[in-house]
Amino acid sequence: MPSFTKKAIIDAFMHQASKKPLEKITVRDVVDDCGINRNTFYYHFQDIFAVLEEICLSGTAKMKTTLPLGDMLSDLFLVLIGYAARYPKAMAHIAASIGQSGAERYFAKGFDSTVFAVLERETGSADVSELRTATVFLRHAFIGLFVDWINAGGKIDGEKLAARIALMSQGVCDAVSKIKHFT
């Protein structure tokens, strides 16, 4: 039952985000939209921003860690643009409200640990500094491209961009491997 309620809250949040900017959404808006009381909301989430964090974490939880780095990030990008296609106005409002730095903050927790682990596996590198730099570089690039895609209102071909992300991410992975051999 709790997962059903959480999903209802997230759906109500996205419905509200489709109608107005993030900073104007209240807990009252969400609970009225999904027909629950405030205590139930607070049982699942601390505040509206915790709902957004849950959405981001659930997106990064879908990362297929068995894939090569580039394919994993390309696949994640396609998942995210699919979600954005379902909620275009909500994603535009959220992107306008939090911007790239806010998006990075919400995605960092799930994204960084997964990308770091895949980079480590693929490069065989134990140099934490190099892996961390590559991880942060990829996060900035990935989120920046996603926010740009949202802001372009669908005028950028998401599938072509996902393919480019795969190639460039694999290039970063190759570069980390080469750095390891030079040190």
- Which amino acid belongs to residue 83? Y
**What is the architecture of the domain spanning 2-49?**
Orthogonal Bundle (1.10)
Query: Residue 63, SS3?
Result: coil
Using DSSP's 3-state secondary structure scheme, residue 135 falls into helix
**Of residues 44, 52, 57, 69, the one with CA closest to residue 169:** 69
Give the integer Cα–Cα distance in Å for 22 and 99.
11
pLDDT of amino acid 95: 87
106, 52 contact by CB (below 8 A):
yes
Q: Which of 100, 117, 105 is nearest to 63 (CA)?
A: 117
Q: What is the pLDDT of residue 50?
A: 94
* CA pair distance 81, 158, nearest whole angstrom: 7
CA 143 to CA 145: how far, in whole Å? 5
Sequence spans of domains, the chain: 2-49, 53-182
Q: What is the mean pLDDT of each run of 10 residues along the chain (183 residues)?
A: 81 94 94 94 94 89 90 93 89 87 85 93 86 94 92 90 95 85 52
pLDDT for the residue numbered 1: 38
pLDDT attached to residue 4: 84
Query: What is the pLDDT at residue 180?
Result: 59
Q: What is the pLDDT of residue 179?
A: 78
